Amino acid sequence: MSEPSPTTHHRLKLSVAAGVTLLVVAFGAVVGLYVSRREPLSALLPSFSQIKTPHYLFSVNGPKRPLGIAVNSSGDRLYVTQSDGDRTVLAFDRLGNQVAVLKPPAKTGDMHVPVYVAVNPVTQDVYVSDRMAASIYIYSSSGTYRQTFAPQGNLGVDWSPMGLAFDSHGNLYVTNVAGTAPDQSGPHQRVFEFAPDGKLTRTLGEGSKLNFPNGIAVDSSGNVYVSDSNNSRLLVFTPNGSIAGSISGGQGDSNLALPRGVALDNSGRLYVVDITANMVKMYHSLNGSLVLAYTGSFGSQGSDDGAFEFPNGIAVDTHARIYVADRDNNRVQVWSY
Amino acid sequence: MRRVPLWVVAPVVALAAGALMASPVSADGGPHRYTATPSATTDGCASCHRLHTAQGSHLLKDIEPMLCLSCHGQDAEGANNDVEDGIGYISYGNPSGKYDPHRTGNGGTYGTTGKGGTYVAGAPIGALRSGGFSYALIGSALATGQQATPDLQESLNTGNIPVLPLPTATGDLNTSMLVPVTSSHAVGGTDTTAWGNGTSGYGSTIQLRCSSCHDPHGNGNYRILRPIPVQSGASTGVTIADETTDSGFSKAYITTNYWDIQPYELKMTSATTWTYQKPVAAQSFIPNISAWCTTCHTRFMAASGSGEVSTGDATYTYLHKSDGTTQGSANCIQCHVAHGSNASMGTGTQSSQVTLPDGTAGDSYLLRIDQRGICEMCHKR
């Protein structure tokens, strides 16, 4: 067998050197990406053809009985309401480091409990509902109090805001849980839509006998998803106000018991937190309709990683991360695909 | 194949159908009431129960009190009464139906006409008559021990209602309103003493939970109270009719109704004005409330004159009258709250030294007023 010529030998050495260089560069890129994101390199959201269940990543410990949760458009700020302790809203970065505390205005005094929170996608302002103070407080993205939201128009009932959501144009949707009608005829609870200037533009659910509607989300077509908590159901309102979809209560896997937080991801997948089932249930629409098909759930009762004790709020960012306010475990759980 | 006789099949089918059809559903604003007509749907059941995966007794999905607090907790996400903070959410019944900026935040003045004054908070909330388990809003300092204002009762009678100081405008948070309780019924399921329960000793050891006193399915009683509280040992139940609300009035759970058993009610007279007025009818829970409380605290029931006649009981030998069944007469809730009180005993030389019946350090004993101001409410000297 003849030995390789000097030219061939040289080519071989060059090839090996190039391969090693490529490996080093690739390894450096992976390490760099990992260090910058400090999380498993999750894939983008799975398509609906992939029936995939999220997995637990880590928890942000510390919030006192967290209820509501929201994440900004870029996914680098997380806002969590605390219903215990000093009852403020905490802001965290993507790694779970606390970066700000959002306090109510001084005149609020001690009578306040922040419940739900949402981020205006147009201004990045943070809106916090406080049923006890009958207010929605508006903060800058860095946590500075700006003003109290003043709804304009005839609401028809007392102002008692709970769930918050925005559409892509910055219109604000609020679930209102005012107790009873002036004539004591029963619950008069409904959903309001406000234009960015605060004007009431639409009322949903007037004939639906909503009973403590909590979570709310709006999809890109303007359909509004509302957890009608004490009726153990979720309703989907179309832009014209009719009900085109629902998830009913009951004991089946796909049924709801006491639904609270609601979120939609970029793929249109719907997440509903069932507080007394201690899990998050997932659904997606069938063939473009608003008929919702159950695709699975995650979570169980307990205090271990991935287990919940009365979870309430939920938020999904654009990087396939799912945040759940794990109320009685005093933490926020982070899940991903 | 042998046929199963009809007399066997019929009862089985009937039982199965009954089990499916006789399911309660949500009604009256919550899961606590059965509807009059049986329904095949089971939404209401599934809110709280699981048949094979229950984590709490009575097939509850989770244990008390956390399950109850998922609606009635300090976030009040599913109810109008927050029993942790001792807060009730009320409806003003605003005739205009318009948003009113005076209601936002706290300390807003909401009208000046009639008998109205400054509402304790701008938001539609008030103090629960029962207090709270963690915090309470009782105006316990309105009659401070020996310095009780002689005219205070008179002021109530005239409708000039005193209120708690408003929050100050300084600082980001003000803690002067939600006051931690100094005593409460222990509903966590741990061992606690039902003072005066039984026939001897200080009282029985029981484990108290929300459902020990309340029937979550509803029973028509005032506050869905169980006629016979769990572990009370009572053999005869006490029924307490639910209170009524006069037409056009909302229940106003202001702080002062803690020690005025017949609460004032709030009536909107316009979009910006309101007035307080006592309800025409006497509160329906008063006649039987002492009988109900003493299903557990058995040996505390006492007629007039019991302070002078020995009961023969080694601990509870002489007793203050507690069997009042009419408006203003001495009964349990004339002096005590049911859930928890923020009354302070700490500054009273004598009051702070009162011990529990077994001699251990005491607390505020669910009293409504600081120190022993409650004595002055009737014995003004």
What percent of chain B is predicted at pLDDT more than 70?
56
State the pLDDT at residue B12.
46
State the pLDDT at residue B301.
96
Question: Closest chain A residue to B127 measured between Cα atoms?
Answer: A111
The answer to whether A312 contacts B44, with C-beta atoms less than 8 Å apart, is no
The answer to whether A158 contacts B77, with C-beta atoms less than 8 Å apart, is no
State the pLDDT at residue B160.
35
Over range A111-115, report the average pLDDT.
89
**A177 CA: distance to closest CA in chain B (Å):** 9
Least confident of A257-271, B140-154, B323-337: B140-154
State the pLDDT at residue A78.
98
In single-letter form, the type of residue at position B218 comes to G
Q: A163 with A155: CB under 8 angstroms?
A: no
Computed over every residue of chain A, the mean pLDDT equals 87
State the pLDDT at residue B269.
54
**Interface mutation target, options A113, A234, A253, A274, chain B, most CBs of B under 10 Å:** A113
What percent of chain A is predicted at pLDDT more than 70?
88
Closest CB to A179: pick one of B26, B42, B80. Answer: B80
The answer to whether A133 contacts B80, with C-beta atoms less than 8 Å apart, is no
The answer to whether B61 contacts A276, with C-beta atoms less than 8 Å apart, is yes
Closest CB to A110: pick one of B44, B80, B173. Answer: B173
State the pLDDT at residue A158.
72
| B141/B371 Cα distance (integer angstroms) | 9
**Interface mutation target, options A69, A214, A232, chain B, most CBs of B under 10 Å:** A232
Q: A223 with A244: CB under 8 angstroms?
A: yes
For A74-84, write each residue's pLDDT tens digit: 999 999 999 99
The answer to whether A250 contacts B41, with C-beta atoms less than 8 Å apart, is yes
| A300/A307 Cα distance (integer angstroms) | 5
Least confident of A3-12, B73-82, B312-321: A3-12
pLDDT of residue A125 exceeding 70, the answer is yes
**A132 CA: distance to closest CA in chain B (Å):** 6
Helix (H, G, I), strand (E, B) or coil at B209: coil
Contacting residues of B for A308, CB less than 8 Å apart: none
Q: A129 with A116: CB under 8 angstroms?
A: yes
More confident residue, B369 or B171: B369
| B318/B315 Cα distance (integer angstroms) | 9
Question: Closest chain B residue to A102 measured between Cα atoms?
Answer: B172
State the pLDDT at residue B41.
56
Contacting residues of B for A104, CB less than 8 Å apart: 172-173
pLDDT of residue A143 exceeding 80, the answer is yes
For A165-214, write each residue's pLDDT tens digit: 999 999 999 999 875 554 445 566 899 999 999 999 999 998 888 889 99
Least confident of A251-255, B190-194, B287-291, B309-313: A251-255
Closest CB to A133: pick one of B79, B101, B123. Answer: B123
Strand pairing class (A126-130; A135-139)? antiparallel
Closest CB to A83: pick one of B75, B91, B174. Answer: B75
Residues present in chain B in total: 381
The owner of tokens 């948070």 is: B173
**B269 CA: distance to closest CA in chain A (Å):** 12
For B205-257, write each residue's pLDDT tens digit: 999 999 999 988 877 778 888 999 999 999 999 998 776 554 444 454 444 44
Q: What is the Cα Rg of chain B in Å? A: 23
State the pLDDT at residue B27.
28
State the pLDDT at residue B244.
59
For B180-196, write each residue's pLDDT tens digit: 899 999 999 999 999 99
Residues 150-209 of B with CB under 8 A from A: 166-178
pLDDT tier, A313 (very low <50, low <70, confident <90, very high otherwise): very high
Question: Closest chain B residue to A247 measured between Cα atoms?
Answer: B43
**Of B228, B339, B372, B244, the residue nearest B291 (C-alpha):** B228
| A225/A160 Cα distance (integer angstroms) | 19
State the pLDDT at residue B98.
30
Question: Closest chain A residue to B177 measured between Cα atoms?
Answer: A110
Question: How many Cβ pairs within 8 Å bridge chains A and B?
Answer: 208
Over range B9-29, report the average pLDDT.
36
For B77-107, write each residue's pLDDT tens digit: 888 788 998 877 755 433 333 333 333 322 2
**Is B10 an 8 Å CB contact of chain A?**
no
First to last CA, chain A: 54
Closest CB to B175: pick one of A110, A181, A182. Answer: A110
For A246-289, write each residue's pLDDT tens digit: 998 877 899 998 999 999 998 889 999 999 889 999 999 887 78
Closest CB to A154: pick one of B30, B92, B97. Answer: B97
Beta carbons within 10 angstroms of residue A4's beta carbon: 10
pLDDT of residue A117 exceeding 80, the answer is yes
Contacting residues of A for B76, CB less than 8 Å apart: 113, 131-132
**Interface mutation target, options B26, B42, B47, chain A, most CBs of A under 10 Å:** B47
pTM of the predicted protein model: 0.79
Contacting residues of A for B39, CB less than 8 Å apart: none
**Is B97 an 8 Å CB contact of chain A?**
yes
pLDDT of residue B264 exceeding 60, the answer is no
Computed over every residue of chain B, the mean pLDDT equals 68
For B56-67, write each residue's pLDDT tens digit: 888 888 889 999
Over range B115-142, report the average pLDDT.
60
- The number of distinct structural domains making up chain B is 1
The answer to whether A108 contacts B167, with C-beta atoms less than 8 Å apart, is yes
Least confident of A93-102, A164-173, B46-55, B310-319: B46-55
State the pLDDT at residue A35.
45
The answer to whether A113 contacts B92, with C-beta atoms less than 8 Å apart, is no
What percent of chain A is predicted at pLDDT more than 90?
64
Q: In this structure, is the dihedral angle defined by the CA atoms of residues B368, B197, B64 and A329, taken in order, positive or negative?
A: positive
Least confident of A81-95, A239-253, A303-317, B6-20: B6-20
Over range A133-157, report the average pLDDT.
90
Cα separations (Å) of A190 from A31, A169, A238, B91?
50, 21, 15, 15
Closest CB to A160: pick one of B41, B124, B178. Answer: B124
The answer to whether A134 contacts B124, with C-beta atoms less than 8 Å apart, is yes
**B150 CA: distance to closest CA in chain A (Å):** 31
pLDDT of residue A331 exceeding 80, the answer is yes
Closest CB to B178: pick one of A110, A133, A211. Answer: A110
**Residue B344 lies in domain:** 1-381
State the pLDDT at residue B348.
74
Q: What is the ipTM of this complex?
A: 0.77
| A272/A229 Cα distance (integer angstroms) | 11
Closest CB to A134: pick one of B43, B104, B170. Answer: B104
State the pLDDT at residue A175.
97
